[in-house]
Amino acid sequence: MTESRTLLELTTQIKETIMGGMPLDYWVVAETSDLRTNASGHCYLEFIQYDAERRYAQAKIRGVIWASTYIRMKEYFFRETGQQLASGMQVMVRVRVQFHQSYGISLVVNNIDPTYTLGDAARRRKEILKKLTLSGVIDDNKTLELPYILKRIAVISSASAAGYGDFVNQLNTNPMGYAFDITLYQAMMQGGKVEETVTDALEHILDSGIPYDIVVLIRGGGASSDLSDFDNYNLALACAQYPIPIMVGIGHERDETVLDFVAAVRVKTPTAAAAYLIDRMDQASSQLESLADQLRFKSQDTIQLSKQIVQDYSSLIPRLANEKIHLAKQRLQSTNQYLMSQVRKVITEGHERLLREEQHLKYLPERYITNGRITLDSTEQRLGYQAERLLTKYRNHLDMVAQRLDDSSPQRALERGYTLTLQDGKVVKDFNSLPPGTTITTRWLKGERESKLL
């Protein structure tokens, strides 16, 4: 019979084996998950590695950062990356393997390389931009012509965000008193629902039927890690293919997201977005005033010339007077033709813009179908992963039940040194039920004997 040992003895041997075989620190690359801090300041998390399509976890292990290390580490990480250490990040950490008799195996983190996380975010952003470029849509929104006057404005933001309040206040209190028509379409600007709510807002703007001049997507400052939701392929694709010019003003001066590369106009902050709109209104106002001055000066010159003609030649014969008057009429006609050409130019430009917008609207159904296919593919992948997990779970359960049945079989009992008492091939469960003279069979693992009760 194999020598038995207590569970503590076995787990102690496991600990000694692991700690003796892996005594060093190791640099490990993984994704963080379920990161949380307890009241003592210790940080507990999981490290995960997914397959290439992120359908399932190839490896997973618990981790811990003790409070004394975590305080120093999170400050260092934020100072170097501008981001808070959080779940869902790709990190490179230095760890030591630890085994505890009660809690099992885990990785104790004692250092982190923030440059790896910065590089991973940059790589992810580069991959999204490459995908948009290969699909041929990255410049679609940037090529849309901005209207001459940006007055009707659709804003995508959170109503409670300080950045939105600053944006509206700056427009409403502009020193020139320009009037802007502002409509808010609410969306979450951080958290797991950024893609869903911003995309819904874009669809609601189109469904409203209002001919907005521009869509402004703004979010104020905060942790740089909160802006990672805007480095999203589906959201960038929706903005790139949008038929109305989009202006993006997200975060601080140092921040940059994928949306900055697909929007028609990119500014750094919500207040910079308001300043841009006011500046555009200043430019339009200056151009209109310049055009009005040109028309006014031309009219005054013509009137002055006519007066001079009448004064200088009033004493001449009627023929000369008529010639001068005819010249004045020609100049007036020239001025009129100039005005008419300017009006026709404005009408032509407006007609061309309507044709361009009509052309973009023709391609909207195809783009929605493309987005739908992408969503269906993603759902199919998730369902496949969930089915595989359920099959694995039930296989493990069946294996465990089979093992328990095998352990409880009579053969196992004999192998452990027990015997079986049989009467006519049936197991005897109550000795007192057998009368004297009964023949019984005693079976061991190897061999059996018959005997008679006295």
d(CA 68, CA 42): 8
263: tokens are 């929007």
Residue ending a domain, among 246, 264, 280, is 280
What pLDDT score does 254 carry?
60
Query: Do 263 and 236 fall within a single domain?
Result: yes
Co-location of 106 and 144 in the same domain: no
92 shares a domain with 132: no
Look up residue 433 and give its DSSP letter: G
Q: What angle, rounded to 10 degrees, do the helices at 233-240 and 114-135 form? A: 40
Does some domain include residue 391? no
Q: Which two tokens stand for residue 174?
A: 């502009």
Are 87 and 189 members of one domain?
no
422 domain-assigned: yes
Same-domain pairing of 131 and 95: no
Strands 426-427, 420-423: pairing kind: antiparallel
Q: Is residue 137 domain-shared with residue 95, that is, in the same domain?
A: no
- Domain membership of residue 417 (yes or no) is yes
Question: Same domain for 226 and 135?
Answer: yes
In a domain, residue 317? The reply is no
Residue 227 in any domain: the answer is yes
Determine the Cα–Cα distance for residues 454 and 443; give it in Å rounded to an integer: 20
| Co-location of 130 and 254 in the same domain | yes
**205 and 171, same domain (yes or no):** yes
User: 41 lies in which domain range?
Assistant: 7-112
Residue corresponding to tokens 């620190």: 25
Reported as a single tens digit per residue, the pLDDT across 400-451 is 887 887 777 777 777 777 888 888 878 877 878 788 888 888 888 888 888 8
Query: How many other C-beta atoms are found inside a 10 Å radius of the C-beta of residue 81?
Result: 20
- pLDDT greater at residue 418 or residue 269: 269
Same domain for 55 and 106: yes
> Over the stretch 360-394, which tens digit does the pLDDT of each residue have?
777 777 777 787 788 888 888 888 788 888 888 88
Contact 188, 47 (CB under 8 A): no
Q: How many domains does the chain have?
A: 3
Q: Which of 48, 82, 112 is where one domain is finished? A: 112
Give pLDDT, residue 344.
83
Single residue among 112, 141, 166 that ends a domain in this structure: 112
For residue 19, the domain's CATH number is 2.40.50.140
pTM of the model: 0.47
Q: Name the residue with tokens 């004692």.
A: 110
CA–CA dist 48, 297 (Å, integer): 75
292 contacts 269 by C-beta, under 8 angstroms? no
pLDDT(238) > 90: yes
- Amino acid 433: pLDDT: 79
Determine, yes or no, domain membership for 96: yes
252 and 174 in one domain? yes
Q: Is 395 a domain residue?
A: no
